Structure 1
Amino acid sequence: MSLETTSEGQPAVPVLECRGLTAGYGTVTVVRALDLSLQPGRVLAVLGPNGAGKTTLMTTLAGMLPRLSGEVLVDGKPIPSARPGAANKAGLVLVADDRALFTGLTVRENIQIAQRSGGPDLDAVMEMFPALKKRLKVPAGAVSGGEQQMLAVARALVQRPKVLLIDEMSMGLAPVIVEELLPIVRRIADDTGAVVVLVEQHVQLALEVADDALVIVHGDVRLQGSAADLAAHPEHLQAAYLGETVAAV
């Protein structure tokens, strides 16, 4: 992942940094010694087979699980372990794989309840999700799966994320819907400067919108590099998914 510099030539402070992050449950280690450094506007695709540790990584970054060891920093400031409120206040916002919507509230109410002072207003968010504009008065439980995913991301955006964590955007959705949704991830990063960490099973689609990618297998990073390079070498991806160690491309 590229090292950017400031106008004075000094290394820029990463928006998101992980130093030796180890995550798991009690004495069970699931993710081992992960190092990350992501500059503003970067999209990182986190890939890997089921059970690799991707969701554990996301919930640990969001402060919902205690870290077993290592550090997480946002804008160079350490984030305390297992304190989701502190993580959210620092700018780490999670879109969980179950979307966690208030299904009895309307689309508008779901967004308004998450609105943070200084964040984008409803009209600004609707420009990114025009399909939701006609559904504002409909209960969240009554809209389609694709619209629910849009709503989950919209609700995250009004919280002014510095780091947007999206866990399995495509969960339960038809591939054609995924093709419509994933480019929005690219637009979010480009328009807001937020770092986006995207866990996704649709590998090629994820690589098309990402800048960087890594493959986790059994908690270890098997492959890491630019998304374009990984997309150009599917044989390396296949080997990584099979658990073989592959040199970074």
Structure 2
Amino acid sequence: MSLLSLSGITASYGASQALFGVDLTVGEGEVVALMGRNGMGKSTTIKVICRLLQNTHGEVQFAGQNLAGMPAHRAAKLGLGLVPEGRRCFTNLTVRENLYASARPGAWDFARVHGLFPRLEERSDQLAGSLSGGEQQMLAIGRALMTNPRLLILDEATEGLAPVVRQEIWAAIATLKRDAGLSILVVDKTISELRRIADRVVILERGKSVWTGSMDDLSGAVKDQYLGV
């Protein structure tokens, strides 16, 4: 049974329809990459999953529950951990306060997050707004982990970061898959890095799921058709 299942999802921003039929599943311990060109509905799909946007048709199931009409805070308590695009740390709080604000009982605590990102321990008393972009991204991931999620959702977690920091983030995601067995849904464009961690790929085109398969099945023709510029 899938941990997360989206079936025939449509969604709109007012009168403008953004999703036209998204189908997606994530199993326990599985890493799924959600891909597509810019503006094809990836972030909107994430909003629907996290109940930041209600779908107009279709069904969202998570942890055996139908999320129809459920507010975002209740969905989060079921085990949805979001690392949003743009990080969105609480800039006027310290690193420790950011982590504490989202903490829920479970295996992920300060010590474990610090083990994954030692730099956060070094910066514990520093305001989040004074951190570098890469450090803020580590904090955003750590904050999501402190909720002890069943599914970690990463929306463009490496976008705009320096190459060396990107590698640190990718290494951390690989560790989460290998050592924590965490279910992960990751939105990113870097095929070479996704190939190392993703079990499956779902590609969106104009708000609709158009291709699903393993990374090994992601042929040059598919990349040119749906991911090329």
Letter paired with 2:227: Y
Letter paired with 1:190: R
Which residue of 124, 142, 156 corresponds with 1:136?
124
Letter paired with 2:222: H
Give the conservation status (yes or no) of the 8 Å contact 1:23–1:69.
yes
For 1:186-201, list aligned pairs within 5 A: 186-201=174-189
Unpaired runs of 5+ in structure 1?
Answer: 1-12, 244-249
Query: Whole-Å Cα distance in 2 between the matches of residues 148 and 40 of structure 1?
Result: 28
TM-score, scaled relative to structure 2: 0.93
Secondary structure at 2:9 match in 1 = strand
Shift of 1:82: 5.5
Give the conservation status (yes or no) of the 8 Å contact 1:43–1:195.
yes
Alpha-carbon RMSD: 1.8
Secondary structure at 1:151 match in 2 = helix
CA deviation map 1:184-238 (0-9, x unaligned): 22322333333211111223222322111122121122321012322xx233211
Letter paired with 1:173: L
Compare relative contact order (CA 8 Å, sep 6+) and give the higher one, 1 or 2: 2
Identity of aligned residues (%): 34
Secondary structure at 1:67 match in 2 = coil
Structure 1 pair 183–24 and aligned structure 2 pair: CA distance change class (3 A): farther
Letter paired with 1:239: Q
Which residue of 67, 73, 92 corresponds with 2:61?
73
Query: Whole-Å Cα distance in 1 between the matches of residues 228 and 117 of structure 2?
Result: 37
Aligned length in residues: 229
Q: What is aligned with 1:20?
A: 8
1:239 matched to 2:225? The reply is yes
Q: Which runs of 4+ in 1 moved over 4 A?
A: none
Shift of 1:179: 2.2
Query: Whole-Å Cα distance in 2 between the matches of residues 27 and 154 of structure 1?
Result: 37
Unpaired runs of 5+ in structure 2?
Answer: none
